Structure 1
Amino acid sequence: MKRSVLFGILATVVVLIGLLIVGPQRIALAKNNTGDEELAHKLRENAGKAQNQITAFTFHNGETTFAGVGADENTEVEVGSVTKTFTTELLRQQVESGDIKLDTTVGDIIDVEGSEVADVTMLELAEHTSGLPRLDKDNFKIFGNLFAANPYLGITQKDIFDAARTASLSGRGEENYSNFGVALLGQLLAVNANTDYADLVEDNILDPAEMNDTYVGGETNIAADAPRGLAANGKETAPWGMDGYAPAGSIRSTAADMSKYASFLLENSEFEFGWFPEDSGGYWHNGGTYGFSTMLIVDPEKNEAFFTSGNTPQGVEELAVAIRPGGNS
């Protein structure tokens, strides 16, 4: 049996066991709207059955508009894999400053002599073409979602580097989405800058963009009363604080701050890598943790951006499309 098939079967079994142990609770859409009524109406009308709280912003025609259902633009959420766009933006900045090149290899930054990953480039890591698996087999906790726990807990930068040294590459040159690859990329960028990933993000993105309510959620800096998402069974999830995998999914933010991030990108970024392109000229990236879902769309040609987030695993991609001009009413 292929490893990917086995992984999927095991994950399904774990979820079913978890539901039997902790019991399902009904997830219902919150009753109160916040912010702009027209935008809130669109969110409510297009919400999925398993959504509870929603926050969003639109940036269109030079104007930013916020709205929410059961939450507002200052509600903290886990942005999940949208974090990866922060990591690839850091790569773009280091390339622009001459501190690194797209063809710089893993072996140019850390000692990985004799490993398959030694000549993998920064660009390959950013574009998910390195051949690294989605998750490293040594550290990821497949049973983490049994009690909506954090599957990345306890994984350090050293663990990422050690796993890279022993990793086998498969399908190199083909696009295969890899949390492991982007985690490795972000940690390498931090080493290259002689700092850690959290400080690298803060110094080069959060501070310049004045994103004062955004931070890299590590294992020790998430407040006890920070918002928790809801698992598929309606139970609160543990926050996804992470160290080793931080560059792949650890950032916590708000709709207000994500609007600042979008403006920062529209002013500075070229969206060369790390994003999924649209035929219309825009770019998008979504994110998901055990308790949150997010979607960010940016369109540099039209100078507009759209963001949606929810506090359940129910995807919010269709919501982001619905709030764009010409989307669903």
Structure 2
Amino acid sequence: MSARITIAALVCLALAVVSGPATEFSMPTGAEISQFLQDAVEKEKRAPGIVAGIIGEKGTQVIACGTLKGGGSEKVDGDTIFEIGSITKVFTTLLLQDMVERGEVKLDDPIGKFLPASVKTPTRNGKEITLYHLATHTSGLPRLAFGTWYMIWHIDDPYAPFKVKDFYKFLSGYKLPRDVGAEFEYSNAGMALLGHLLSLKAGTNYETLVVQRICKPLGMDSTCITLSAEQKKRFAAGHDESGDPVKNWSPSDFPADGELRSSANDLLKFLAANMELMPSGLSSAMRATRLPREPTDDPSEKVGLGWMIKTNFNVVWHDGATQGYVSYIAFNPAERRGIVVLANSQNNIDDIGETLAGVRKLRKVAQVNHEIYSRYTGKYRLNDKKLFTVSRKGDRLFTQLTGQGKFEVFPESETEFFCKDFDAQLTFLTNGSGLATEVILHQSGKDRRMKKVK
């Protein structure tokens, strides 16, 4: 659900299955979290800097490792500002629910109610897209309002050149592929449009609306789009997967799907309000945004207004990514504990977020002789149409299912490996010579055996 630029979400290695029941969660200790972040920064080189924030009924804790920029000396901390990408979306949907409760809009208002008469809005079988459909990703609008060639042409700064007139032209010409409300499809375009419509209704710009109605009431003075001179000094530099610095994208006409910037300390205040650990006039609206409302493409999850809900864990979450930054925020409203993780690199940190949120086991990379990886390389039969390929590149091991991208796996022991991109593990079964004959995929509470075919 993360990157604004990502065309497709990660696809699990196996067929979709319902996750098993949640097990009792024990938060990793401060020392374990510190080591977790240190390994990610110093050993795995995932980001120059990572900050994790934890909040519960006993208070807050911030653990940080690394620097504001690669090769720099200034350390990241709880006040360091990062781009938070698609976490912006839950601010947008909170604005929506707040405006509903103020009587300014209704969830079932059609989008055409707020647009100029000259804009033709997509309909299908007589049904119109509403604000609710935009907030729950059920509008039928695509992930992006522009196509692949546009993205290639504007790859260094894809959103700023796409103006209001371009979006209106897209809307007027778009043909919905299915009935409105029929199916979940994660849509940056839909959420960007929602923020635009709310801004039109309020008679102000999106950033002002967020700051005035959410940030100021909650004391969040480091959350915005346009940074002050003082905030720029605390702003972490973005980096690509290889650790090279990247240029920040320019502000666009449609910021509501992913342009906010924030700090761990500010997002801990946001979590405190969502968990009702602090008094807030937004409490009622916040409760409404996290109600499970529609099924998603993951059987173990539902979508609220913006928030994703892991129903078997009772964890409400969202992640984010822009060019140079990744983020993760989650909380358990019943247990009143929440976490946030921010990093200044495009490398995935969802495993850190999910581990701290209690939906993934803390796994540690074991020190093994990488030469054993050659014993496991080859192709394994998943079914009649798909092969599971294991390959080695130097001291790294990769897996790939037919038709999907490669994912790196990491050793827990000489025969057990785990994936950091999503929650899946592998166990290799070997013969007397130590060569793999089968691999077992452990995912979503299921075990799937695959025999080696070549």
Q: TM-score, normalised by structure 1?
A: 0.80
Once the 2 structures are TM-superposed, how far is the Cα of residue 190 of structure 1 from its aligned partner?
Answer: 0.7
Aligned partner of 2:101 in structure 1 is 96
Q: 1:328 to 1:206 in 2, by over 3 A?
A: same
Which letter maps to 1:274? G
Does residue 303 of the first structure (1) align with residue 308 of the second (2)? no
Question: Which residue does the alignment assign to 2:168?
Answer: 161
Structure 1 residue runs of 5 or longer lacking an equivalent are: 1-6, 10-35
8 Å Cα contact 2:81-2:234 kept in structure 1: no
Alignment match, 1:18: none
Per the alignment, in what secondary structure is the counterpart of residue 106 of structure 2? coil
Does the Cα contact within 8 Å between 1:288 and 1:313 map onto a contact in 2?
A: yes
Instruction: Encode CA deviations 1:127-174: one digit per residue, 9 max, x unaligned.
Output: 11111111112798412685xx22212333443334322222223421
Check conservation: 2:111, 2:121, Cα contact below 8 A: no
Instruction: Report the RMSD for the aligned CA atoms in angstroms.
Output: 2.9
SS of the residue 2:128 aligns to: coil
Q: In the aligned structure 2, how far is the partner of 1:196 from the partner of 1:169?
A: 28
The structure carrying a bigger helix percent of its residues is: 1
Once the two structures are superposed, residues 16-66 of structure 1 have per-residue CA deviations (whole angstroms, 9 ceiling, x without a partner) of xxxxxxxxxxxxxxxxxxxx6553223234665533310110112331100
| Shift in CA distance, 195/275, structure 1 to aligned 2, threshold 3 Å | same
Conserved? CA contact 1:66–1:73, under 8 Å? yes
- Distance in 1 between residues matched to 2:7 and 2:317, nearest whole Å: 26
Partner of 2:194: 185
The answer to whether structure 1 residue 84 and structure 2 residue 80 are counterparts is: no
Alignment match, 1:275: 307
Amino acid corresponding to residue 40 of structure 1 in structure 2: S
Letter in 1 for 2:254: Y
Are the aligned partners of 1:154 and 1:242 in contact in 2 as well (CA < 8 Å)?
A: no
Match of 1:116 among 122, 126, 129: 122
**Alignment match, 1:62:** 58
SS of alignment partner, residue 216 of structure 1: coil
Report the CA distance between 1:307 and its aligned residue.
Answer: 0.6
Instruction: Work out the CA distance in 1 between the residues paired with 2:260 and 2:45.
Output: 26
Give secondary structure in 1 for the equivalent of 2:78: coil
2:321 and 2:346 in contact (8 A); partners too = yes
2: CA distance, partners of 1:58 / 1:179: 28
Paired amino acid for 1:60 = G
Q: Secondary structure at the match of 1:230?
A: coil
Report the 3-state secondary structure (helix = DSSP H, G, I; strand = E; otherwise coil) of the residue aligned with 1:104.
coil
Asked if residue 194 in structure 1 is aligned to residue 228 in structure 2, the reply is no
Alpha-carbon distance change, 158 to 303 in structure 1, aligned in 2, over 3 angstroms: farther
- Aligned residue number for residue 323 of structure 1: 356
> Percent of counterpart pairs with the same letter?
28
Query: How far 1:216 moved relative to its partner?
Result: 2.0
Q: TM-score, normalised by structure 2?
A: 0.59
Query: Could you give the per-residue CA deviations for residues 245-276 of structure 1, whole angstroms, max 9, x where no partner exists?
Result: 30000001111111111112223111131111
Secondary structure of the residue aligned to 1:215 is coil
Contact 1:294–1:310, Cα closer than 8 Å, also in 2 = yes
> Amino acid of the residue matched to residue 153 of structure 1?
A
The one-letter amino acid paired with 1:44 is: Q
- Mean Cα deviation higher: 158-167 or 247-256: 158-167
Mapping for residues 146-295 of structure 1, pairs under 5 Å = 149-171=156-178, 172=180, 173-217=182-226, 223=232, 226-267=235-276, 268=283, 269-270=286-287, 271-272=290-291, 273-278=305-310, 279-295=312-328
SS in 2 for 1:189: helix
Query: In structure 2, what is the Cα distance between the partners aligned to 1:97 and 1:69?
Result: 42
Moved more, 152-161 or 88-97: 152-161
Question: Aligned in 2, Cα 1:134/1:167: closer, same or farther, shift over 3 Å?
Answer: same
Displacement after TM superposition at 1:111 (Å): 2.8
Letter in 1 for 2:272: S
Structure 2 residue ranges without an equivalent (≥5): 1-5, 9-29, 67-75, 277-282, 292-304, 364-454
8 A contact 1:77–1:254 mirrored in 2: yes
Mapped partners of 1:256, 1:225: distance in 2: 13
Greater strand share, 1 or 2?
2
Residues 306 and 323 of structure 1 are in contact (CA less than 8 Å); yes or no, is this contact kept in structure 2? yes
Letter in 1 for 2:204: T
- Aligned mates of 1:223, 1:143 — CA distance in 2: 29
Paired residues, what number? 294
Question: 1:49-99, CA deviations, whole angstroms, 9 ceiling, x for partnerless residues?
Answer: 533310110112331100111121111101000000100110110111111
